[in-house]
Structure 1
Amino acid sequence: MRTGDELPPLEIPITRTLIVAGAIASRDYQDVHHDPESARQKGSPDIFMNILTTNGLVGRYITDHFGPRTVLRKVAIRLGAPNYPGDTMVLSGTVETVEGTTATVRIVGSNGIGNHVTGTVTFSLKDAE
């Protein structure tokens, strides 16, 4: 792992099931995450993914790439374009810094309408047991 290394992209199909399951799992019962009619009444064309689901997917992207020794230390993300059902989010990352066994990766998750998520993830690789 070196500064400037690019992680391979990860494509995540955005399904209604993923959006609703993520909202339920994170105990986010806001109607815009499960009720299309309520979402439309509030100005959205459909239900959309919540930030906690996005946060979990960003963490998964890092841990899937770097393996089971990965310990997330800090996840700092910002949402942009919503993730709607039927779209695909593509996560990509670039290693920004490496200090010993700790690194920071800049993350971008884009979909058909723009960047859904941007930010950084700082993590460490724990010693093999």
Structure 2
Amino acid sequence: MKTPRAGDRLPPLRIPVTRTLIVAGAIASRDYQDVHHDPELARQKGSPDIFMNILTTNGLVGRYITDHFGPRAELRRVAIRLGVPNHPGDTMVLTGTVEEVDGDTATVRVVGANGLGKHVTGTVTVRITA
């Protein structure tokens, strides 16, 4: 792993948004809201289908950073904001740009987009040790 520098772009990560991913993420994070597992109730509440919860999105953003920076990467701060939903059958593409490096710590701007637009935007502060 080379030392990151401001302006470096992380390679994109394509994540197929499957029904299984949405439901498994909701169960793993103990989020039993019906809009994350019951298509009919989600439609009754105005959504075309079930959609991914924020905790699953947060975990995928963390995975994106640690996959890039390696097993010694330590997430120090993850600050995200949701936009459009992730529905089954779409693909979310995560991209990142290193905004700042201070010693062994980097701040990365992350965007996750799907067919509807930006699903998640935010910044991740990661400590990278040798």
Structure 1-normalised TM-score?
0.98
Cα deviation 1:71-105 (Å, max 9, x = unaligned): 00000000000000000000000000000000000
Aligned match of 1:76: 79
- Stretches of structure 2 that go unaligned for 5 or more consecutive residues are none
Match of 1:86 among 62, 86, 89: 89
SS at structure 1 position matched to 2:35: helix
1:60 aligns with 2:70: no
Match of 1:96 among 94, 99, 117: 99
Identity over the aligned pairs, expressed in percent?
A: 81
Aligned match of 1:116: 119
- Stretches of structure 1 that go unaligned for 5 or more consecutive residues are none
**Superposed CA RMSD:** 0.5
Residue identity matched to 2:65:
I
Q: Distance in 1 between matches of 2:55 and 2:98?
A: 23
SS at structure 1 position matched to 2:87: coil
Residue identity matched to 1:8:
P
| 1:10 positional shift | 0.2
SS at structure 1 position matched to 2:47: coil
Runs of 4+ in 1 over 2 A off after TM superposition: none
- After the TM superposition, which residues 1-16 of structure 1 pair with which residues of structure 2 at under 5 Å, given as runs? 1-16=4-19
Aligned length: 127
Structure 2-normalised TM-score?
0.97
Match of 1:38 among 37, 41, 58: 41
| 1:125 positional shift | 1.2
Aligned match of 1:20: 23
Q: Distance in 2 between matches of 1:72 and 1:64?
A: 12
| 1:126 positional shift | 2.7
Residue identity matched to 2:33:
Q
Q: Distance in 2 between matches of 1:5 and 1:82?
A: 28
